[in-house]
Amino acid sequence: MGGGKRLRDARGEAIAHQSGVSCFAEYAVVDRGSVVRVDKDVPLAMAAVFGCAVMTGVGAALNTAGIRPGQKVAVIGLGGVGLSGLLGAKLAGPSVLIAIDVNPAKLGLARQLGADHAIDARDADHLQQVRDLTGGGVDVAIELAGSIPALETGYGILRTGGTLVTAGLAPAGAAFPIHAADLVSREITVKGSYMGSCVPVRDIPRFIEAFRQGRLPIDRLIGDHIGFDAINQGFDLLADGDVVRQILVPHG
């Protein structure tokens, strides 16, 4: 955080600390602001996913969107962040919870994790399917795919008074159309969510406690534990959508 670089590559060149934590390094000196204490009985491999995917997804649902019991909710994009968002939304007690993706395997997993309906965004009539299931659209759409088409889906399924929350990171500079009059005549809200609007020292222990109580089954998102030798294949699997989350175990 102070700008110092304490990591070196094999040639001795200084390299930056990714996101202030250097999570692909075996050891790192980090700013105290990047550290959250967790109880010793929480396995580190489990705690690891709470630092980004869970904080972003669950936080987007609970903090940024502030879903209230009985609301109609859709989550668009079902990677590690999106499925965490789905579990977070479930925790808030919606009357209808809809999962949307372009990957049938993700839709199946979302159903197992508690989605009431799973919709394939490749269906030409997917917006209408959501409107039909919800009697006119959702109160809250949470975009966690990081793509413009996903944002357009989220915007297109809002009911009057609805809120689109986006924590997916669309490509820098990309834009998506909003009908300006909708903001007024339909009271549509569009809200961004950085790391789920979380305060890490407050929210990570809170989310871990929900996991311990069985109310946030994040363990169901975790696939293989891999070492550094498999990190590149791990990224390929992630990019192909074949896994949700893998745990990199530096000393495994």
Ligand X SMILES: NC(=O)c1ccc[n+]([C@@H]2O[C@H](COP(=O)([O-])OP(=O)(O)OC[C@H]3O[C@@H](n4cnc5c(N)ncnc54)[C@H](O)[C@@H]3O)[C@@H](O)[C@H]2O)c1
Whichever of 191 and 206 has its CB closer to ligand X, that residue is: 191
Q: Which residues bind ligand X (CB under 6 A)?
A: 52, 56, 76-82, 100-103, 106, 121, 144-147, 149-150, 153, 167-169, 193-195, 238, 241
Q: Which contiguous run of DSSP H or E holds residue 132?
A: helix 126-134
State the minimum distance, in angstroms, from the CB of residue 186 to ligand X.
22
State the minimum distance, in angstroms, from the CB of residue 146 to ligand X.
2
Long-range contacts of the stretch 23-31 (C-beta < 8 A, 24+): 23/48, 23/51, 23/248, 24/231, 24/248, 25/250, 26/250, 26/251, 31/1, 31/2
Whichever of 153 and 163 has its CB closer to ligand X, that residue is: 153
CB 81 within 8 Å of CB 101:
no
Task: Give all strands of the β-sheet with 96-101 in edge-to-edge order.
Answer: 117-120, 96-101, 72-76, 138-143, 158-166, 189-192
Q: Which residues pair with 192 in a beta bridge?
A: 166
Whichever of 114 and 149 has its CB closer to ligand X, that residue is: 149
Whichever of 78 and 164 has its CB closer to ligand X, that residue is: 78
State the minimum distance, in angstroms, from the CB of residue 143 to ligand X.
8
What whole-number distance in Å separates Cα of residue 48 and Cα of residue 252? Answer: 15
CB 183 within 8 Å of CB 156:
no
State the minimum distance, in angstroms, from the CB of residue 21 to ligand X.
13
Whichever of 55 and 92 has its CB closer to ligand X, that residue is: 55
Whichever of 79 and 137 has its CB closer to ligand X, that residue is: 79
Show the DSSP H helices in 73-121 as ranges. 80-91, 104-112
Q: What residue has token string 């997917």?
A: 126
State the minimum distance, in angstroms, from the CB of residue 197 to ligand X.
9
What whole-number distance in Å separates Cα of residue 18 and Cα of residue 111? Answer: 34
State the minimum distance, in angstroms, from the CB of residue 41 to ligand X.
27
Whichever of 14 and 101 has its CB closer to ligand X, that residue is: 101
State the minimum distance, in angstroms, from the CB of residue 192 to ligand X.
8
* Mode of pairing for the β-strands spanning 117-120 and 245-248: unpaired
